[in-house]
């Protein structure tokens, strides 16, 4: 039938026709998924370098990565014959295509270099062992012939004028400063996963290169090397206040470091999660991290952690998105449960320990602002033996200068007392609220209400764990219509809910009967509660909502049942509180994540008064 056929109507002529897109358009579309911004390009190129076995990686950028991105590595390199194939879509040396689940490398899709060549001016120079160096240039998806080049080893990839082939994309980029910050974040995220690799990030253009970030390769034990790398990337304060995590469950291994609750942050900016060494942003893992700190932090505070999950590649799908930042676990409940249990165990093992930053913040609040100029030096800051003897004598009754002793015999040292304990011995109560205790090398200031609130709360939780959650039977079971799939999902977790005082049973097609609810919650609207639990089950594969609600009630009970601010306490009571804090896990912070005590070393106090 031809287009001139009179039987063909206007509608048929106006119908959209299916066309095959050319290679350049296909590459630009793929680039939109893989290369969202300069930081995405840096991430892809650095991951390629790591897959090539590089031990040193240098990253240079100009104008926030828009004008130039250059990544240099000392990896295995490529031959002149490899280069044209490396710039072809879906060509890779990392898999053979027979098994898309057994992935052991960062890259495997073969899309990064072709995508970069489609949206910018790309140059790849490489040299493999035993071969000559070669260079291949690509501009707007069009490749030039391979040419000889000069290079000692490894690969150098240079990307100029990112998105020059798709200028509309440039309008969606942020300022040079913001894009440079994103590049730094991407490099640091990868550097934390590879402590044995050296990284150097520099800003070039407009003068001498400026080193933005440098991390030399760390040697030694894996945990020690990681700890030093985290101190370099996240700062010494994180390293000082982070707990070592190591646990295994059903073939999944969890390792890394998690910070004390009192080292929390105002946003989720210090949460770094990795699966088989690959940085990911996975809602399941983020939810598990949040759940581990559930009754240790208020809702506006966020934990800090760097965690690595090692799992058989066959049990996790990393091919969910071209950027490979999302994963899907075959057994999501196992991964989530491992994170929650391992972190809770490590935090409990930390006992009453609080973050060192608490003392630093206290000193910062107490220290007066300098008036300008050098600090005044007082002559008596370093008194000699004779000056000490005279000063001591001046405080004695009936002092006469002519009788001042030049030396004084100290009495026998007192027997060790409660000051030898970690939280010391109570010496005073201030404003009926704060306990001042003396330790062997400083003082401790305790908020008596916050401390006792945590102690009572932990006691209530232990009692609940030992005796179970008391259930309150409903006179008339409440029938909740959920739909067949939701009812089945809820009933699959019925045994776990019974332990928390909630009893549900099947009631016909797509409905459940609620026969018992947790007594501690009082009157409960069953339908909204069940739907909230189902939302968590659908989102995370597990639900801690009911336990969270029960813990919230216990927390309120602990608040009302604890020592109130303003109540006078005797020395025995104060010391008993200190000893119980030392024996109770998590007592370094109250139920809302605030510190229960501040410890100041004698050296810090002397500095506060200008004695050091």
Q: Is residue 553 part of a domain?
A: yes
Supply the pLDDT for residue 30.
55
Question: Where does the pLDDT of residue 356 fall: very low under 50, low under 70, confident under 90, or very high at 90 and above?
Answer: confident
Residues 6+ apart with CB under 8 A from 344: 292
Q: What is the CATH number of the domain that holds 38?
A: 3.30.565.10
CA distances from 390 to 178, 378, 411 (A): 63, 18, 18
Helix, strand, or coil (residue 431): coil
Mean pLDDT of 16-38: 66
Mean pLDDT of 44-66: 93
Mean pLDDT of 550-574: 77
Boundary residue ending a domain (317, 350, 383): 350
Is 547 a residue whose pLDDT tops 60?
A: yes
> Are residues 194 and 71 part of one domain?
yes
* Token pair listed for 548: 């969270």
> Are residues 185 and 77 part of one domain?
yes
Is 7 a residue whose pLDDT tops 90?
A: no
256 vs 309: CA distance, rounded Å: 9
195 vs 224: CA distance, rounded Å: 10
> Are residues 301 and 189 part of one domain?
no
Q: Is residue 393 part of a domain?
A: no
Q: Are 121 and 70 in contact (CB under 8 A)?
A: no
Q: Is residue 450 part of a domain?
A: yes
481 vs 74: CA distance, rounded Å: 62
Within 69-146, where are the H helices? 82-86, 112-119
Supply the pLDDT for residue 98.
45
Other beta carbons within 10 Å of 177: 9
> Are residues 277 and 202 part of one domain?
no
CA distances from 501 to 337, 474, 490, 507, 602 (A): 21, 12, 15, 19, 50
Is 109 a residue whose pLDDT tops 60?
A: no
Mean pLDDT of 95-123: 63
> Are residues 166 and 58 part of one domain?
yes
Q: Is residue 4 part of a domain?
A: no
> Are residues 472 and 431 part of one domain?
yes
Domain count, the chain: 3
Helix, strand, or coil (residue 246): strand
210-215 and 142-143 strand pairing: unpaired
Is 97 a residue whose pLDDT tops 60?
A: no
> Are residues 204 and 55 part of one domain?
yes
Q: For 124-155, what is each residue's pLDDT tens digit?
A: 999 999 999 999 998 877 888 999 999 999 99
Residue 261 Cα to chain centre, angstroms? 12
Supply the pLDDT for residue 453.
87
Specify the DSSP element, H or E, that contains 556.
helix 545-561
Q: What is the CATH number of the domain that holds 612?
A: 3.30.1370.100
Q: For 445-478, what is each residue's pLDDT tens digit?
A: 999 988 998 888 888 888 777 877 788 899 899 9
Mean pLDDT of 177-188: 95
> Are residues 442 and 477 part of one domain?
yes
Question: Where does the pLDDT of residue 568 fall: very low under 50, low under 70, confident under 90, or very high at 90 and above?
Answer: confident
| Higher pLDDT pick, 291 / 393 | 291
> Are residues 209 and 77 part of one domain?
yes
Question: Where does the pLDDT of residue 198 fall: very low under 50, low under 70, confident under 90, or very high at 90 and above?
Answer: very high
Q: Is residue 388 part of a domain?
A: no
Residue range of the domain that includes 332: 222-350
Q: Are 260 and 588 in contact (CB under 8 A)?
A: yes
> Are residues 164 and 246 part of one domain?
no
Q: What is the CATH number of the domain that holds 280?
A: 3.30.230.10
Helix, strand, or coil (residue 337): helix
> Are residues 175 and 48 part of one domain?
yes
Boundary residue ending a domain (187, 213, 239): 213
Helix, strand, or coil (residue 60): strand
Mean pLDDT of 310-334: 79
| Mean model confidence pLDDT for the chain | 81
Q: Is residue 170 part of a domain?
A: yes
Max mean pLDDT among 27-36, 103-112, 392-401, 560-569 falls in 560-569
Q: Is residue 489 part of a domain?
A: yes
Supply the pLDDT for residue 102.
47
- pTM for this entry: 0.74
Number of residues assigned to the chain: 612
Boundary residue ending a domain (350, 385, 401): 350
Mean pLDDT of 1-16: 59
Q: Is residue 363 part of a domain?
A: no
> Are residues 422 and 333 part of one domain?
no
Q: For 201-210, what is each residue's pLDDT tens digit?
A: 999 987 889 9
């Amino acid at each position: 039938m031809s287009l001139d056929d009179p039987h063909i109507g206007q509608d048929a002529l106006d119908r959209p026709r299916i066309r095959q897109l050319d290679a350049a358009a296909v590459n630009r579309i793929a680039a939109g998924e893989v290369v969202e911004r300069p930081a995405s390009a840096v991430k892809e190129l650095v991951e390629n370098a790591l897959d090539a076995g590089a031990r040193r990686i240098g990253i240079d950028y100009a104008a926030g990565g828009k004008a130039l991105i250059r990544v240099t590595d000392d990896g295995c390199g490529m031959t002149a014959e490899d280069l044209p194939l490396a710039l072809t879509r879906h060509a890779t040396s990392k898999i053979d295509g027979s098994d898309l689940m057994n992935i052991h490398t960062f890259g495997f899709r073969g899309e990064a270099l072709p995508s970069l060549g489609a949206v910018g001016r790309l140059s790849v120079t490489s040299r493999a062992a035993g071969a000559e160096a070669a260079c291949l240039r690509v501009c707007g998806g069009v490749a030039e012939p391979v040419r000889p080049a000069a290079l000692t080893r490894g690969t150098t990839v240079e990307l100029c004028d990112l998105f020059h082939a798709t200028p509309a994309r440039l309008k969606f980029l942020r300022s040079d400063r913001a894009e440079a910050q994103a590049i730094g974040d991407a490099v640091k995220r990868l550097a934390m996963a590879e402590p044995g690799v050296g990284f150097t990030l520099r800003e070039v253009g407009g003068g001498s290169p400026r080193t933005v970030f440098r991390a030399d390769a760390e040697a030694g034990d894996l945990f020690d090397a990681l700890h030093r790398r985290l101190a370099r990337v996240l700062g010494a304060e994180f390293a000082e206040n982070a707990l070592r995590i190591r646990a295994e469950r059903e073939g999944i291994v969890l390792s890394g470091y998690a910070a004390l609750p009192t080292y929390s942050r105002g946003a989720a900016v210090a949460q770094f999660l990795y699966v088989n060494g690959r940085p990911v942003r996975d809602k399941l893992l983020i939810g598990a991290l949040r759940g581990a700190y559930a009754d240790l932090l208020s809702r506006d505070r966020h934990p800090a952690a760097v965690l690595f999950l090692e799992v058989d590649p066959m049990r996790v799908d990393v091919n969910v998105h071209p950027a490979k930042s999302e994963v899907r676990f075959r057994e999501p409940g196992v991964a989530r449960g491992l994170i929650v249990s391992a972190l809770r165990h490590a935090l409990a093992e930390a006992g009453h320990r609080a973050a060192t930053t608490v003392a630093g913040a206290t000193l910062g609040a107490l220290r007066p602002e300098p008036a300008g100029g050098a600090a005044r030096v007082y002559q008596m800051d370093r008194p000699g033996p004779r000056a000490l003897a005279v000063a001591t004598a001046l405080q004695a009754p009936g002092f006469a200068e002519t009788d001042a002793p030049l030396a004084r015999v100290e009495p026998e040292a007192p027997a060790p007392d409660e000051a030898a304990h970690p939280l010391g011995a109570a010496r005073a109560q201030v404003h009926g609220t704060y306990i001042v205790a003396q330790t062997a090398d400083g003082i401790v200031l305790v908020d008596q209400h916050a401390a006792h609130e945590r102690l009572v709360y932990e006691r209530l939780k232990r009692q609940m764990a030992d005796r179970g959650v008391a259930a309150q039977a409903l006179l008339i079971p409440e029938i909740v219509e959920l739909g067949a799939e939701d009812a089945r999902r809820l009933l699959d977790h019925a045994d776990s809910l019974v332990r928390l005082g909630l009893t549900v049973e099947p009631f016909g097609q797509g409905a459940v009967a609620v026969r018992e609810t947790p007594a501690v919650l009082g009157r409960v609207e069953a339908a909204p509660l069940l739907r909230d639990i189902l939302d968590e089950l659908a989102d995370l594969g597990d639900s801690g909502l009911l336990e969270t609600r029960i813990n919230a009630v216990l927390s309120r009970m602990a608040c009302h049942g604890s020592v109130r601010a303003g109540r006078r306490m005797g020395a025995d009571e104060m010391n008993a509180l200190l000893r119980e804090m030392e024996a109770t896990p998590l007592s370094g912070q109250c139920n809302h994540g605030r510190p229960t005590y501040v410890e100041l070393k004698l050296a810090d106090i002397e500095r506060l008064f200008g004695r050091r």
